Structure 1
Amino acid sequence: MGAALRVGAAFAGTVVGAGFASGQEILQFFGLYGLQAGWGVGLAGALLAGYGYLILRAGARFQARSHRELLTGLATPPLAALLDGLLLLFLLGGLAAMAAGAGAVAREQLGLPAPAGSALLVAGAATAVLFGLDGVVRTIAAVVPWLLGAVLLVALGNLATHPLDPGWAPPAPAVLPAWPLAAVAYGSYNLILAVGVLGPLGRASPRQALLPGALVGAAILASGALAIHFSLFTLEPQVLQETELPMVLLATRLAPGLGPAYSLVLLAEIFTTAVANLFGLVARLDRSPFPRPAPPRGPARGAVSRWRTTTLAVSVLAWLMAQVGLAALVRNLYTLMGVAGVTLLAALSRQALGELRR
C-alpha cells in the first residue's frame, strides 16, 4: 500500500500546477460550462486514472528512463520524433514560465528582486532532480498532502459559508463547444506533460502498485478539482472576470490572513511543476544509465557527473529564459500540446486493445 500511495502522490503532484491551485485552470476547462460540468471533472478523473495507469505500465514495459523510450515504443519513428521535440520545447518553456512566476511572487509578496526569486526556485528544483527519480518522487509526494489540504479547506470552507449563485452566468465564452470535449482536452493535456515522470516512475515501481497508484492519484486530482469547481459558483461572474487568482480571492474571503498564506500554496504548486519539468528534460537529454531510484555508486560515478552537468545547464538556461521573457512563447504551444496529448491517448488505446486481442 505504501508504494501505491507513493505512486499516487507523485502522479497527482506531477499533474497539478499553479493553474490548478489558483482555480483558473478549473474555471477555463469546466467552470465556464456551468454547474453540470462537474460531470466533466468526473470524466477527466476517469481518463487520468485509466490512461495514467497505461502510461505507468508502458514505462515498465519499455524500461523508460525518460519520455523518449515510452514514445518510441508507442508510436512510429516520425511521430515519436515529432512528439519528442514538442514535449522537450514545452517542458523547457514551462520550466522557464514557472521560474518567471516565482520571480513575480517574490517581487510582489516578499519584496525580493524577481531574478532572485527565479533563482531560488530553479535551485530548489535542481537540488531535488540531482537525487534522480527518488529525489523527485520524495519531494513531490511530501508536498501533495499539504496542497490538497489547502485547496479543500478554502473550497469547502466557502461552500459551507456562502450559497451558490442561482443567477450565475459564464464570465467569458468557453473555448470548446461542450464540457465532454473540455474534459478530454484537460485529461490529454495534463497526461502528455506528466509522461516525463510517469514513464520512469512506472519502470521503478512494483507492478502491483501501478493500478492502485493511478487510482489514488486520479482521486486526489478529481476531489480537488471538484471542490474548486463548485466553490467558483459562490463568486459573482464579474468578480471571476476581473481576477486571475479566484482561489486566493476565496481564501481572503474566508479570513484576510488566508490570502497571503494561500499564495504560499501557489508557490509550492509552481515548485512541484518545476521539479517535474526539470526532471523530464534532464532525463531525456542525459543519455547516461542514470536516473535510477537512487544515485549509483562506484563505476557509475561518471553517469552521476553527467547527470549533474545536464541538470545545471538546463537550470541556468531556464533561468535565463525567465529573465528575457522567452517563457511567454510556451503559450503558443498549448494547441499543439493538446493535439499531442490526444495522439498519445490514441497510441495507448491501440496498445491496450492489441494486448486484449492476443
Structure 2
Amino acid sequence: MIGRGIKWMLLLTGTMIGAGYASGREIWQFFGADSVVAILLFSGLFMICSYVILKLSISLKAENYVVVLEALLGKRLAKAYDKLIILYLFLTTGIMISGGGATLQTFELPYWFGIGLMCILLVVLFIWDLDGLTSVNNFLTPMLIICLVVILIIFQWTSEGGFSLEWGAQSNWPSALTFTALNLLPVVAVLSAIGTKIEHKGEVWIATIGSGLILGGVSLIYNQSLLRVADDLLLYEIPLFSILSSYPSILIFAMTILLWTAIFTTAAANILGLLSRFKNLFTAPGWLLTFVIVTALIPMTTFGFSTLVGFFVSSLWDAEFILVRLGFALPLSPR
C-alpha cells in the first residue's frame, strides 16, 4: 500500500511540477511578498481537491475525467470544462515539446534536435502506458525535488540573515485560490485516469496528503528564496537562474537538465490525460496515439517557445479563469 501510494504521490507531484513551477516563474507570478498564508492555504486546498477528485474517480470507476466532471459540475458545465481540458492538454503539450527544444539550445544543440528527442522519448515511454509514466516519475520527480530543495536550502543558509518567514501582512492569500484552481485541469485529467488502479484507500491518503505537503513545502522555500533576489529577477527569463547566479556553472548545467526532465514529465502527464480521454474512441495502442499527438503538434513548435508561452498561456489563462469563477467551489460538494 505504501509503495503504491508513493507512486501515485510522485505522479501527482510530477504533474504539478512542470517547467513553469520548477523554473520559479509560476511561484513568483502567483505569490511573492506577503504570501506565507497563501502558500499554506494552497497546500491545504490542493490536498482537499485532489482527495475529492480521486475518491470520486474511484467510486465512479471512471476511465477518464468526463464522468468525474459531470459528477462534480453537472453535465452542462462539464461539457465546457471538457473542451477546455482537451485544449489545455494539447496546447501545453505542444508548448512543452517546444520548451524541450529551447532548453537544449542552452548546450548549443539545434532546436529541432531537442524537439525530436522529446517526441521520440514520449512515444517510447507510452509503449508501457501508465506503468511507463509512473516508473519514470518514480525516478525523475524525486531527483528534481531533492536537487531543487537542496539548492534552495543552501541558498537560504548562505544568504544574509538566513531563512526567515514574515508573518506580518498576508494580503496575498487570495492567490492560493487562483493558483489551486488554475492547476486543477491537468490534475483532474491525471487523477481520473488512475482511479481504477487504486487498490487500497490508504493509497489515496498518501498520494493526496503527501503531494500537498511536498508542494506546499517546496513552494514556501522557493518563494522565500525568490524574495531575496527580487531586485534581480527582471534580469533573468528563468527566476531560478537568479538564485544560481553565484554558483558554479556546472550547477547551472545540472539544473538545466532537471528543468528539461520537468518539461518531459509534464508533457507525459498531459498525454496520459489525453489518452484516457480518447481511449474509448480509438483501439490503437498508447504509443501509436502518442505518435499521432506529437506529430500533430510539431507544426505548432515552429512558432518558438517564447511566442507560444506568451500567446497561448495568456489565452488559456483567460479561458480558465472564467470557468474557475463558475466552478471552483463545486469540487468540494460533489453532486
Question: What is the TM-score normalised by the length of structure 1?
Answer: 0.84
Match of 1:336 in 2: 319
Aligned to 2:125: 128
Deviation at 1:233, TM superposition (A): 2.2
Out of 211, 215, 218, which is 1:221 matched to? 215
Deviation at 1:340, TM superposition (A): 3.3
- Matched with 2:232 is 239
The one-letter code of the counterpart of 2:142 is P
1:1-358 matches, cutoff 5 A:
1-31=2-32, 34=33, 36-107=34-105, 109-163=106-160, 178-206=171-199, 207-235=201-229, 237-287=230-280, 303=283, 305-325=284-304, 327=308, 328-341=311-324, 343-351=326-334
Q: Secondary structure at the match of 1:179?
A: coil
Q: Is the 8 A contact 1:164 1:234 kept in 2?
A: no
Aligned 8 A contact 1:60 1:200 in 2: no
Kept in 1: contact 2:84–2:320 (CA 8 A)? yes
Residue in structure 1 matched with residue 166 of structure 2 by the alignment: none
Any idea what the Cα deviations from partners look like across 1:21-72, whole Å, max 9, x if unmatched? 11111111111xx1x3122111101011111111111111222222222213
- The CA distance in 2 between the partners of 1:144 and 1:123, in whole Å, is 20
Q: Deviations over 1:258-281 (max 9, x none)?
A: 112111111111011010111111
Change (3 A) 1:159 1:129: same
SS in 1 for 2:249: coil
CA contact (8 A) 2:89 2:271 kept: yes
Deviation, structure 1 residue 244 = 2.0
2:256 maps to amino acid = S
- Residue 341 of structure 1 deviates from its aligned partner by 4.2
Alpha-carbon distance in structure 2 between the residues aligned to 1:29 and 1:164: 25
After TM superposition, give the deviation of residue 209 of structure 1 in Å. 1.0
2: CA distance, partners of 1:56 / 1:79: 20
> Is 1:16–1:269's contact at 8 Å kept on the other side of the alignment?
yes
Q: Is the 8 A contact 1:157 1:254 kept in 2?
A: no
Q: Given that residues 31 and 175 in structure 2 are in contact (C-alpha distance below 8 angstroms), is that contact kept between their aligned partners in structure 1?
A: yes
Do the aligned partners of residues 245 and 144 (structure 1) sit closer, same or farther apart at CA in structure 2, a change above 3 Å counting? same
Query: 1:329 offset after TM fit, Å?
Result: 2.5
- Identical counterparts, % of pairs: 24
CA contact (8 A) 1:15 1:191 kept: no
Could you state the TM-score of these two structures normalised by the residue count of structure 2?
A: 0.89
Change in 2 beyond 3 A, CA 1:7/1:345: farther
- Superposition deviation, residue 288 in structure 1: 5.4
Q: Which residue of 2 aligns with 1:172?
A: none
Q: CA deviation at 1:324?
A: 3.8
Residue 234 of structure 1, CA deviation: 2.1
- Partners in 1 of 2:48 and 2:302 — Cα distance? 39
Distance 2:124 2:171 in 1: 42
C-alpha deviations, 1:132-175, integer Å up to 9, x for none?
Answer: 2222222222211111111111111110001269xxxxxxxxxx
CA contact (8 A) 1:102 1:117 kept: yes
CA contact (8 A) 2:10 2:211 kept: yes
| Equivalences, count | 323
Distance 1:324 1:24, change over 3 A: closer
Change (3 A) 1:85 1:111: same
Question: Do 2:232 and 2:242's aligned partners in 1 also have CA atoms closer than 8 Å?
Answer: no
Q: Is the 8 A contact 2:189 2:273 kept in 1?
A: yes
* Equivalent residues of 1:249, 1:259 under 8 A apart: no
RMSD: 2.2
Deviations 1:55-99 (A, max 9, x none): 111111222222222213322222111111111111111001111
CA distance in 2, matches of 1:101, 1:323: 12
Letter in 1 for 2:157: A
The residue that corresponds to 2:167 in the other structure is: none
**CA–CA distance in 2 between the matches of 1:11 and 1:268?**
15
